[in-house]
């Protein structure tokens, strides 16, 4: 839906854009009202429209060499920048057509077309997200399945955001999945309430995902039907994960009570995976 007229004046564009920009960076900055480079980078990974404002914030911090900036200072500077750039792009008639919008700096171009309810000329619309398909497949594969350890645990599907090619690391998993983890882990396994926040798990270990999943698929007691059935289900789970995700990683956060993430990249580039738990004493 268009937020600005067909051919807005530079001032209308700058004011509309800067209002949305300020709201986005205010949310990203948090309670202290100051935006850091780390917070601006996280803004770029958001799944909603706020992410288009991240490049402007990042460019400001790089240009000024600041480690952080107050939302008010950043918003004021950004508005002035947007107005100047729009006036240049509009030319003598003082109106921003779609052709004029294509002349805007790269960190304003997508924003302008978004406010006009359009896509940037020459770009291909992003493919429909594969997250719903991945969710359905992994939830079916883990329905009624328990992760074996000293205390068995259930599985929970986790929905991440577009990675834009970024590598999957423990820090990225912590950034994208902490809130979902903290809300779900107590339903998956027993854990001391003081240990529920993922932020308390300072120790983190990465396991080879292929080896980790293959070990779960080993039938340790072929004479026991339950052991055979469990091994078969984990083999099926590995096949499902391999068919739905690439760059699969396993991260285990904690010491004795472990929060275990099996995560990867969907075919449309989002982070997604499974949360479970393990107890090892």
Q: Could you read off the pLDDT of 191-211 as tens digits, one per residue?
A: 989 889 999 999 999 999 999
**Are 185 and 253 part of one and the same domain?**
yes
Q: What CATH number does the domain containing 275 carry?
A: 3.40.1460.10
Q: Is 85 found in the same domain as 221?
A: no
- Alpha carbon separation from 257 to 101, 200, 203, 281 (Å, rounded): 54, 12, 11, 8
Same domain, 222 and 170: yes
Same domain, 43 and 93: yes
Q: Are residues 62 and 137 in the same domain?
A: no
Residue 1 domain-assigned (yes or no)? no
**Same structural domain, 95 and 200:** no
Residue 3 lies in a domain: no
Phi-psi region of 269 (alpha: psi -120 to 50; beta: other; left: phi over 0): left
Q: Which of 155, 186, 185, 184 is CA-nearest to residue 263?
A: 155
Whether 92 and 196 map to the same domain: the answer is: no
Q: Is residue 5 part of a domain?
A: no
Examine the domain organization and report whether 39 and 156 are in the same domain: no
Question: How many other β-carbons are positioned within 10 Å of the β-carbon of residue 190?
Answer: 11
Confidence grade of residue 1 (pLDDT, cut at 50, 70, 90):
low
Residues 148 and 42 reside in one and the same domain: no
138 inside domain = yes
CB atoms within 10 A of CB 260: 23
- Could you give the CA distance from residue 246 to residue 244 in angstroms, rounded to a whole number? 7
122 pLDDT tier (thresholds 50, 70, 90):
confident
Interatomic CA distance for residues 269 and 126, integer angstroms: 10
- Residue 76 belongs to domain spanning: 10-115
Q: Is residue 143 part of a domain?
A: yes
- Looking at the structure of the chain, the number of domains it has is 2
In a domain? residue 43: yes
Of 199, 181, 193, 176, give the one whose Cα is nearest residue 259.
181
**In this model, does residue 123 exceed pLDDT 80?**
no
Q: What is the 3-state secondary structure of 213-250?
A: HHHHCCCCCCCCHHHHHHHHHHHHHHHHHHHHCEEEEE
Q: Is residue 2 part of a domain?
A: no
Are 73 and 162 within one domain?
Answer: no
| Cβ–Cβ under 8 Å, residues 45 and 134 | no
In this prediction, residue 3 has a pLDDT band, given cuts at 50, 70 and 90, of confident
> Do 89 and 177 fall within a single domain?
no
Position 106 in a domain: yes
Give the domain-ending residue among 72, 91, 115.
Answer: 115
**184 contacts 156 by C-beta, under 8 angstroms:** yes
Distance CA 9, CA 76 (A): 19
Tell me the pTM: 0.60
| 49 and 14 co-located in one domain | yes
């Amino acid at each position: 839906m268009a937020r600005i007229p067909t051919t807005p004046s530079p001032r209308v564009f700058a004011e509309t854009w800067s209002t949305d920009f300020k709201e986005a960076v205010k949310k990203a900055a948090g309670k202290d009202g100051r935006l850091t480079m780390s917070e601006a980078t996280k803004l770029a990974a958001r799944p909603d429209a706020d992410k288009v404002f991240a490049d402007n914030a990042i460019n400001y911090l790089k240009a000024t060499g600041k480690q952080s900036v107050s939302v008010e200072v950043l918003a004021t500077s950004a508005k002035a920048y947007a107005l100047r750039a729009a006036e240049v792009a509009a030319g003598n008639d003082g109106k921003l057509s779609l052709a004029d919008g294509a002349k805007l700096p790269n960190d304003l171009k997508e924003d302008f077309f978004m406010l006009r309810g359009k896509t940037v000329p020459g770009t291909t619309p992003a493919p429909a997200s594969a997250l719903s398909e991945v969710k359905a497949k992994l939830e079916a594969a883990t329905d009624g399945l328990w992760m074996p350890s000293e205390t068995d645990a259930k599985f929970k599907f986790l929905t991440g955001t577009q990675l834009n090619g970024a590598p999957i690391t423990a820090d990225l998993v912590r950034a994208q999945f902490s809130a979902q983890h903290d809300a779900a882990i107590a339903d998956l396994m027993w854990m001391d309430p003081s240990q529920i926040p993922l932020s308390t798990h300072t120790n983190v270990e990465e396991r080879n995902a292929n080896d980790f999943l293959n070990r779960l698929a080993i039938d340790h007691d072929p004479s026991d039907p339950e052991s055979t059935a469990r091994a078969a289900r984990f083999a099926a789970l590995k096949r499902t994960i391999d068919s739905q995700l690439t760059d699969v990683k396993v991260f285990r956060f904690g010491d004795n009570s472990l929060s275990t993430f099996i995560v990867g990249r969907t075919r449309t580039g989002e982070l997604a995976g499974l949360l479970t738990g393990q107890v090892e004493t």
